[in-house]
Amino acid sequence: MSLSIRAAAPADLPLIAALIRELAEYEKLGHEVRFDEAVLGEQLFGARPYAEVLIGETDGQATGFALFFHNFSTFEGRPGIYLEDLFVRPEARGRGLGKALLVELARLALERGCARLEWWVLDWNEPSIGFYKSLGARPMDEWTVMRVDGQALTSLAAT
């Protein structure tokens, strides 16, 4: 068995869209997927890309992905990498692909002068939490995620 990680290309857009949908179903959030594939492609591969994608392959077959973007820490005075999505298809789990994707993200973070790599994980996802802790990740339990979207976002902008 061979594992490989590569940067996504525009031709990977249908694959990325499928993987996002598979992740959403796994997270029991399939009903929240609303993206338009063409708009997603523009956001990932257009004139000003807002995020990047790594494709994980097992024996030459795409079996996982990591979608990430840069954030910034004022306390560190340096950028970081925020991992929005990490997903490995069920048939490929337990073979090291998730770890390989995180290793590549850590390598990119150091190469790009980032102070940290961070992400969210659903609190019910104990297998992933245990896996992340085994790699040295620590929960940031003292923080609460806040979000403004939909009509609340529109209303706030109009204030």
Domains of the chain as residue ranges with CATH: 3-157 (3.40.630.30)
Active-site residue, from 26, 50, 82, 132: 132
Average pLDDT over residues 83-110: 97
Per-residue pLDDT band for 76 (boundaries 50, 70, 90) equals: very high
Burial state string for 78-95 with b = 16 or more CB within 10 A and e = fewer than 16: ebbbbbebbbbbeebeeb
Measured CA to CA, the distance from residue 30 to residue 13 in angstroms comes to: 18
The dihedrals phi and psi of 110, each to the nearest 5 degrees, come to -65, -45
Measured CA to CA, the distance from residue 146 to residue 63 in angstroms comes to: 31
Average pLDDT over residues 134-155: 95
DSSP assignment, residue 84?
A: E
The dihedrals phi and psi of 64, each to the nearest 5 degrees, come to -170, 170
Average pLDDT over residues 119-134: 94
Check if 50 is active-site: no
pLDDT, residue 4, reads 97
Average pLDDT over residues 70-87: 98
pTM of the model: 0.94
Task: Please state, as a whole number, how many other Cβ atoms lie within 10 Å of the Cβ of residue 101.
Answer: 23
Per-residue pLDDT band for 119 (boundaries 50, 70, 90) equals: very high
Residues paired with 119 in a beta bridge: 83
**Where do we find the tokens 């003292």?**
142
Beta strands in 89-146 (DSSP E): 117-119
In contact, 23 and 73? CB cutoff 8 Å: no
In contact, 68 and 81? CB cutoff 8 Å: yes
Per-residue pLDDT band for 27 (boundaries 50, 70, 90) equals: very high
Measured CA to CA, the distance from residue 29 to residue 77 in angstroms comes to: 35
pLDDT, residue 149, reads 93
Average pLDDT over residues 9-38: 97
pLDDT, residue 61, reads 96
